[in-house]
Amino acid sequence: MSLFDCNSRCSCTFFAVIASVALGVVTAFLQITGTITVAPVFSWVFFGIALLFLVVTLGTLSFNDRTAVCRCRCTALNALLIGALGTIVSALVILAFAFVATSIIGAVFLGLELFFFFLFVFSSACFVRCLFGCGE
């Protein structure tokens, strides 16, 4: 039995959430200390990637066979959708308001945006892994 098996207690999405939280906190810390500055272009890129992938995922799922359902697929898909929608909303918030590079609120929203973006990326990898490796 592998570490990320469908019947395992350690799920792939759990590790995706932990890694995303860590990357979001590190990004917020680096933003507040002024080590990195993120231009609005990156928020536009994250917004576009999440929106395009959300449309493709929902379009693909409409043609999916619903008879073969795996628990890990549902968990990974929920995390994927939360990550994509969170990325879209947080990118819109960052683009709507002009934040100073070292403001706490700006760092929090940037950390949230990157948390949701990395959750989206890691959970999409978990979803693909569950599609092809569930073992049913």
State the burial class of residue 51 (Cβ atoms within 10 Å of its Cβ: 0-12, 13-18, 19+).
middle
Is residue 75 a part of any domain in this protein?
yes
pLDDT along the chain (136 residues), means of 10: 48 86 91 79 89 84 62 76 91 83 81 92 84 61
User: CA 11, CA 34: separation in Å to the nearest integer?
Assistant: 35
Domain extent, residue 107, equals: 12-133
∠ CA(24), CA(89), CA(29), 5° rounding?
20
Is residue 106 a part of any domain in this protein?
yes
**Tally of structural domains, the chain:** 1
Is residue 27 a part of any domain in this protein?
yes
Is residue 5 a part of any domain in this protein?
no
Is residue 7 a part of any domain in this protein?
no
Residue type at 2 in one-letter notation: S
Is residue 78 a part of any domain in this protein?
yes
